[in-house]
Amino acid sequence: MRTFINTFFLTISLIVLSFFSYGQNNGNDYRPICLDFQKNNCKYSENKYYQYNEASRSALFIKGQTSKMNFEIFNGRDYCISICNEEALGDTIAFKLIDDETEDVLYDNKNNYYSKVFEFTVFESRTIYIEISVPGHTGIEKKIHGVLPKSRNTGCVGVLIEHMITPVKGF
């Protein structure tokens, strides 16, 4: 009976150890390419009262791509949105803030020389989305036999969102 118990525990131990070794990545980094890009690369506001907003995101983009991300804005808060990107995507990144319900464009950075930072005060809570556009060509037309060659037209884009309670104005 003792031999059976020892063999049983040895077998269970080997199975558990094999699961741990299966999870190893042999030195290759399998985490998402742009993970926390916004935290590590976007410029934070110099205003010490701003706090990191969990709606902040980053993603891999290809030139010519447009993508949207939703987030909630709340009455009585100020927000600072900072966009950052890798050099491969160029200097100009277009972004708009759009009301999710009415589709009204609340802000378009092309009207502000493609500024990558926008601060605003909210007077009415609502859901909005940020539409990010990277100018250029996707390269999809260069598909060869169903394969898209990897190019230097891809890079990370980060959207850093910070918020704070709107300061009281006046006396």
Residues 6+ apart with CB under 8 A from 76: 122, 165, 166
Residue 3 lies in a domain: no
Residue 1 lies in a domain: no
Give me the number of domains the chain comprises. 1
- Work out the pLDDT band at 158, boundaries 50, 70, 90: very high
Residue 5 lies in a domain: no
Is residue 66 over pLDDT 90?
yes
CATH number for 46: 2.60.120.380
More confident residue, 2 or 76: 76
Is residue 32 over pLDDT 60?
yes
Residue 93 lies in a domain: yes
Range of the domain at 158: 37-165
C-beta separation of 135 from 91 below 8 A: no
Give pTM, 2 decimals: 0.75
Residue 156 lies in a domain: yes
**Helix, strand counts (H, E) of the chain:** 2, 9
Is residue 89 over pLDDT 90?
yes
DSSP 48: T
- Work out the pLDDT band at 107, boundaries 50, 70, 90: very high
Q: How far is the C-alpha of 108 from the C-alpha of 115, rounded, in Å?
A: 9
Return the pLDDT at 137: 74
Which of 24-33, 63-72, 99-108, 111-120 comes out lowest in average pLDDT?
24-33
Q: Residue 130: helix, strand or coil by DSSP?
A: strand
Q: How far is the C-alpha of 75 from the C-alpha of 170, rounded, in Å?
A: 19
